Structure 1
Amino acid sequence: MQHNFLKPYYSLYQRLGCSGELYVNDVLVYSFFGDQTLEGGSTGAVPINNVILESGKYKVVGRMFPRFSKETITEEDYMTLDFHVAEAEGPLGTIKKTRYKFHPRIEQPWDGLSENINYPVFEISTEIEVELPFVLDGWQNSVDLSKMKEEKLFEEVFAFYNQLYLVMESHNAGKYLELSKEKMKLQEQAFYFSEERKGSFLKGAMQLFGQNLEMAPMKKEDLRIQIMGHGKLVRLVRLDGTEALKFKSPDPENQGDVEFEVKLHKRNPQQGFTII
């Protein structure tokens, strides 16, 4: 469906009653794993301008997984995805006022998954078409990492993550932001950040690092590698599905760990990894 927005702002609205992850353009945009999935669920908007990069058609995939400590998905578990576009140009509140559904909802079978089948994973998918006023320089032309030997790739990626771990452990917000500048620039372009919004984002990062939270230990044997973005992106994730890099919660009773989702790419074979 076409729109006449000057600055279209695309998002998914997810409802998850299980563990799960969402992909757009073969890039992870949201995940819900760990002991937080034991009961209840997750609901909220997931902006996607930063992964679609330019106008065109893109595949959206939702994968349902069993809740923490469970082996299969039950007939009570669910996943629904709605697709919204809104106008980002205008005063505060414009996005909320102009948002509309541009694509039909997708979900697990309406009457629930069959109780007679033990699903270790269940996938729903669709194709969306988007119109954007830009073409962002993301990872489209980066090195195809799927052609590297996985053992060598893992070692290189782990070395970079370990560098990030040490930066975070020392609560060096300035260094972390410097290492993340490519990703930040992409997000600023994708979401039409004003100077005020940029300043607010940086202030929030400084405040988070200023809490001097303890890092969750990161061990090789607890991690697995994940290649995405049609072979152009890579990340490490814990075996339980949670992020490799995270601060321990300051209030475990009421708040989960503070997780950092980090994707890497290589612009060319001679260049090292950068965060994107």
Structure 2
Amino acid sequence: MGKLIIASLFLLSNLSGCQQKHSVASTMGNQDKDIDQKMLDIYKQVKIYDYSPLYEVEFSHDACGYEILINDIPLHRYLFLGSTNLQRLPINDHILRSGRQEITIRLFPPQLSNKSWSPTFVEASKFNIKVLHRKADGSLDDYKQVFEFSTSNKRGTENFLASGQKVFEFKGNFVADVPYQLEGWHNSQDLSRENKDELLKEAVAAYKSFRNILIKKDVRAYASLMYDKEVELAKAYYWNTPADSKQRWDEMSGTVREKREILPIKSFKMVLYGDGKVLALQPTSLLYKDYLSAIHAQTESEDIQVSFLLHKKVGSNKLTAIR
């Protein structure tokens, strides 16, 4: 009789355990579906406008490194050997609302053919950039130009005006007219007023937490972390159909699940953008010195920079992802 009771209790315990496991698995499955649906429903928050302008920068460079910032938020940086004829990058997510926008161009002395860096700009250094806008669904060639900057040459020559110098920076403005308004970093806290040591600790913790999410391929945690950012991107680029949200979520979740090595976070510095409201940890090692984020990954065929800019919302003490 004793053995029978023990056996019965063991059976009930197993049944209870199975039920709990099934319940946990079911709950997690439902949570995954809820997260999927939340991301797939982002398009519902995007308004449809009569005119949906897409703002872009078109630029070329030769014999110099460069960094482009829109409203003091980094867009693109390149420091290594080479030149480009023309590149175009969209910038709507850097434009929070209509009005005057600031553009900053920072140039750096070039890398030389022997892979060392010139201490100063050379005579062949040059950079050109334009800000264009067109219909989001329009032709690439049907655009209006609202800004242009080109480096100047020394009088009577084709030699860069700043050749022989170590630094060069240009700030300009253009006017954008967009139908949306983004919160972005507009009302975020000024991080430059915080204790730098404590802020660095918080930033490192946030970056490590994000790295762990990528290592674990935790799609649910990734979606939760990036949700506010994705809503703003959708508004800025007029992703207003179910297909838009599905394509975006398929790409995001597919990237998280992709087989890749998430490299350790090391040799970095803390940099503030957005007039002190946006924070990044950036690598300082030679190999990754043009990366904007200290988080990067490797697959068998490529090295991938993972964007991760942080801010603190008004009334919050927590660093969260903004871009």
TM-score range for the pair, normalised by the shorter chain length: 0.7 to 0.9
Cα distance, 1:74–1:217 mapped onto 2, change above 3 Å: farther
| Secondary structure at 2:233 match in 1 | helix
Give the C-alpha shift of residue 157 in structure 1. 0.7
2:23 corresponding residue in structure 1:
none
2:271 corresponding residue in structure 1:
226
1:39 corresponding residue in structure 2:
82
Equivalent of residue 175 in structure 1, options 207, 214, 221: 221
Instruction: Indicate whether 1:241 and 2:287 are aligned.
Output: no
Equivalent of residue 129 in structure 2, options 73, 81, 95: 81
- Which of the two has higher C-alpha Rg? 2
Could you give the per-residue CA deviations for residues 160-213 of structure 1, whole angstroms, max 9, x where no partner exists?
Answer: 011011111222333222211111111100110133222112212222233211
Whole-angstrom CA distance in 1 between matches of 2:107 and 2:141: 31
Q: How does 1:1-276 map to 2 (within 5 A)?
A: 6-17=51-62, 18-33=64-79, 37-41=80-84, 43-68=86-111, 69-70=116-117, 71-88=119-136, 90=137, 94-103=138-147, 105-110=148-153, 111-114=158-161, 117-119=164-166, 121-194=167-240, 195-219=242-266, 222-239=267-284, 240-242=289-291, 243-251=293-301, 255=302, 257-276=303-322
Could you give the per-residue CA deviations for residues 77-112 of structure 1, whole angstroms, max 9, x where no partner exists?
Answer: 322111100112x5xxx2425322222x21222434
* Contact 1:225/1:237, CA 8 A, preserved across alignment: yes
2:39 corresponding residue in structure 1:
none
* Contact 2:126/2:151, CA 8 A, preserved across alignment: yes
Whole-angstrom CA distance in 2 between matches of 1:66 and 1:174: 43
* Contact 1:8/1:86, CA 8 A, preserved across alignment: yes
Whole-angstrom CA distance in 2 between matches of 1:106 and 1:135: 27
* Contact 1:79/1:108, CA 8 A, preserved across alignment: yes
What amino acid does structure 1 have at the position aligned with 2:309? Answer: K
* Contact 2:58/2:132, CA 8 A, preserved across alignment: yes
Whole-angstrom CA distance in 2 between matches of 1:178 and 1:112: 51
| Secondary structure at 1:180 match in 2 | helix
Cα distance, 1:115–1:266 mapped onto 2, change above 3 Å: closer
Could you give the per-residue CA deviations for residues 213-249 of structure 1, whole angstroms, max 9, x where no partner exists?
Answer: 1122212xx1111111111111111112323111114
* Contact 1:139/1:232, CA 8 A, preserved across alignment: yes
List alignment gaps of at least 5 residues for structure 2.
1-48
* Contact 1:13/1:45, CA 8 A, preserved across alignment: yes
| Secondary structure at 2:238 match in 1 | coil
Higher helix share: 2
List alignment gaps of at least 5 residues for structure 1.
none
Whole-angstrom CA distance in 1 between matches of 2:150 and 2:203: 34
What amino acid does structure 1 have at the position aligned with 2:152? Answer: P
Cα distance, 1:114–1:131 mapped onto 2, change above 3 Å: closer
| Secondary structure at 2:76 match in 1 | strand
* Contact 2:125/2:163, CA 8 A, preserved across alignment: no
Whole-angstrom CA distance in 1 between matches of 2:192 and 2:186: 14
Instruction: Tell me how large the CA RMSD over aligned residues is.
Output: 2.2
TM-score, normalised via structure 1 length: 0.85
What amino acid does structure 2 have at the position aligned with 1:85? Answer: H
What amino acid does structure 2 have at the position aligned with 1:23? Answer: L
Q: How many residues align?
A: 258
| Secondary structure at 1:192 match in 2 | coil
